[in-house]
Structure 1
Amino acid sequence: MAARQRILFLNHLGQRQRRRRRSVITYMNAFIRQTFDPLDIFPDEVIIRKYRLSRGQIMELLNAVHPHLVRPIGRSFALTPAVQLLAALRFYATGSYFEVLGEGLGLSKASLSRAVTAVTNALLLHFAHRMSFPATPDEIRRVNQGFYNIAGLPRVIGAIDGTLIKIDHPSANGQRYVCRKGFSALNVLVVCDAGGTFLDVVAKSPGNTHDSFMWSNSGLCQAAENDAFRGCWLLGDSGFPLHPFLLTPYPNADSVPKAQYNRNHAQTRSVVERAIGMWKQRFRCLSRGAGGLQLQPRKSCAVIVVTALLHNMALRDNVQLPEEEEELPQDQDAEDEVADQDMDYAAGRQVRDDLVANLYGPP
């Protein structure tokens, strides 16, 4: 009995010592967070390399989401809005595991996870409206001119493509998320303008979903069917259906005009592949080479849209990637193109043939 009581007493002392050591670590981490402000210490180029945005843009974000990140709790050392925002931006920029990234920031894995969730939801709430399709005649004319300057194709309003974003394998319905390349992913539909700015991002489909199905069930397709494009066209690869408002290449370019159209179509549409490559390079959490998003589908969808919004913000203010990352690859995780003649609509074929005849001669 005495031996048993001694063991219990020693275990009790060990638990008290562990709690005491943990409290010391918590105090040290909190002290560092409260006395070390990266925005005051790091130069501009370091801030851009670490967080992918400029100092002014980070302050703009902080002012917008500050009220939503204040934690009204009675405990000491609550994370400030600035710490939460910088932690989330650092996660977007690197895609590191929460445990590894938290050690460098003085945060526990759970605290970092909560911070990323809170910041992502707050950014969605305040900035989702900043991604929109051109609506006014002046906006449409500007986008048309940007695409025309690439390869001479007129009345192009956007370039569309699908890309795979690797995610953590879901516990529920996991097989639906396994793409044809063999890993769990979300298939994301992206539309951009000639400058690589995202006009629309649809992030909700499991990895085994084909581009044509995503497009046919998107709000953008329904809007296009109601003449939202005002006689303009999207450019898509052969994995998309041919519509009067979505032009794809000829599957068999058996004439000079058709071959010329296909070349100019590919040259113009390549802007979306470069845009996706730059997006994944800027925010490495999206890159399969960095491990992808180690999150479940719902959180992954939110992070994908938020990083697209932040990418647009960086392009708006001409925030360049670090010099060592300027050599940007094309999107390596695009869905495979699968031509399907059954997806070609007669009205779409007529519009494409008329365009080719006007530009290059009878197809």
Structure 2
Amino acid sequence: MALCQNYQLALLAMLHENLQNGDNIERPRLRVPRQFNPRTVMDNLTDEEIRLRYRLGRTAITELYEKIKHYMEPKTKRSHAIPGISKLLATLHFLASGSFQTTISACSGFSQPTFSQTLKHVLDGICSLTPELLHYDMSPANLAKIKNDFYTIAEMPNVIGAIDCTHIGLIPPAEKERYYYNRKGFHSINVQVVCDASSKILDVVAKYPGSTHDSFIFRNSHLHQRLQAGEAGNGWLLGDSGYAVKPWLITPLLNPLTAAEDNFNSSHKATRCIIERTFGILKSRFRCLDKTGGFLIYKPEKVCQIIFSCCILHNYALLHKEHIEVASDLSPQIDDIIDHNRENNVEGVLIRRQLISNYFQW
């Protein structure tokens, strides 16, 4: 009997020690249900709220989704996979507001890693629309229309586009920080844009760091090659004094001496200002592109894709008559540097002189 009692006491002591140490004791695991935040939908928003939040109307968003939904449809059969439309709306909200990923995650029900993947897929889808929405058609019929629209502004003939560059702020890679530092004292991508008289974007170059000069970007662009090859016929772009005069790029006179030259400069300025307005509309619609929306925190390649996607969406919005006023609180545009040592093309100078003589001798 005593032996049995001693055995029982020893067994109880062993069990107590194991309970204290947690050794070899399997405890049942409690399953914690996954939390799924409510995702953004349009059903409970008014048309005004949708435009304010996403910068596009209900119909435009729906049609956009149909065009690119195969980039966003869930790859999993799980019941809680994120719907493609929610991915699109979250991305549009980010582009429109300039909020960082954590803010987007909080308001849209996405985790930060999930939104990073979402952003990639949606941007890929938007960029796939480039041939449809951002293509510089230099057919004679289209160029004739562009020229006519520009002429109605201030009677400047044969204009096929207005060209300029704008800076989009970003957090630069540490090892190349100095290349992104622009002359206004912040880090950026220097983006070249050409627009028509209705602010439609015809051509974009978004790949050069902020220290790059506008004229360098243009000289090394595919558009420069097209113009040099004669695709524009007798048409020309209007550029500021930071560019050299070419047969297909007309700039203002630095020191007008006659009334005709003053008339030319006034018409040039009034016509070319459409590119400044285009930048204002673009940055007002997509605050991620303006410093007031915060600097973009992605790698330069991703920032360039964001910029290009916004330009495509800008044209898409114009196509759907989604107008927006230029915001009053945008960061000021960086003034262009006048390069007094630039090499003006002799033929370009002669064409400008003939233009002044034929059209501005009032």
Give the CA deviation at 1:91. 0.4
Give the CA deviation at 1:331. 7.3
Kindly provide the CA deviation profile for residues 260-292 of structure 1, in whole angstroms up to 9, marking residues without a partner as x: 111110110000000111100001010111113
Q: Is the 8 A contact 1:164 1:335 kept in 2?
A: no
Q: Is the 8 A contact 2:291 2:331 kept in 1?
A: no
**TM alignment of 1:51-62, pairs within 5 A:** 51-62=54-65
Give the CA deviation at 1:57. 1.2
CA distance in structure 2 between the partners assigned to 1:334 and 1:280 by the alignment = 14
Q: Aligned match of 1:86 in 67, 86, 89?
A: 89
CA distance in structure 2 between the partners assigned to 1:185 and 1:157 by the alignment = 28
In the other structure, the counterpart of 2:41 is 37
Instruction: Tell me whether 160-169 or 107-116 shows the greater mean CA deviation.
Output: 107-116
Give the CA deviation at 1:76. 5.0
2:347 corresponds to 1:347: yes
Q: Aligned match of 1:163 in 149, 163, 166?
A: 166
Query: Counting helix residues as a fraction of each chain, which structure ranks higher?
Result: 1
In the other structure, the counterpart of 1:289 is 292
Give the CA deviation at 1:6. 6.6
In the other structure, the counterpart of 1:72 is 75
**TM alignment of 1:324-343, pairs within 5 A:** 332-343=332-343
Unaligned runs of 5+ in 1: none
Give the CA deviation at 1:94. 0.4
Give the CA deviation at 1:330. 8.1
| Alpha carbons of structure 1 residues 7 and 61: separation in structure 2 relative to 1, 3 Å | farther
| Alpha carbons of structure 1 residues 334 and 8: separation in structure 2 relative to 1, 3 Å | farther
CA distance in structure 2 between the partners assigned to 1:256 and 1:7 by the alignment = 97
CA distance in structure 1 between the partners assigned to 2:306 and 2:133 by the alignment = 16
Kindly provide the CA deviation profile for residues 305-351 of structure 1, in whole angstroms up to 9, marking residues without a partner as x: 11111111111221122xxx555578723352323343311111111
Instruction: Tell me whether 191-200 or 169-178 shows the greater mean CA deviation.
Output: 169-178
TM-score (norm 2): 0.88
In the other structure, the counterpart of 1:316 is 319
Q: Aligned match of 2:141 in 133, 138, 143?
A: 138
Q: Is the 8 A contact 2:280 2:326 kept in 1?
A: no
Q: Is the 8 A contact 1:95 1:291 kept in 2?
A: yes
Larger-Rg structure: 2
What stretches of structure 1 move > 6 A for 4+ residues in a row?
5-9
Give the CA deviation at 1:7. 9.1
Q: 1:37 is matched by which residue type in structure 2?
A: V
2:362 corresponds to 1:359: no
Give the CA deviation at 1:42. 1.2
In the other structure, the counterpart of 1:251 is 254
Aligned residue for 2:190, secondary structure, equals strand
Unaligned runs of 5+ in 2: 1-15
CA distance in structure 2 between the partners assigned to 1:46 and 1:151 by the alignment = 37
- Alignment identity in percent? 34
CA distance in structure 2 between the partners assigned to 1:305 and 1:237 by the alignment = 23
Aligned residue for 2:135, secondary structure, equals coil
2:247 corresponds to 1:239: no
Instruction: Tell me whether 62-71 or 112-121 shows the greater mean CA deviation.
Output: 62-71
Q: Is the 8 A contact 1:203 1:304 kept in 2?
A: yes
| Alpha carbons of structure 1 residues 222 and 6: separation in structure 2 relative to 1, 3 Å | farther
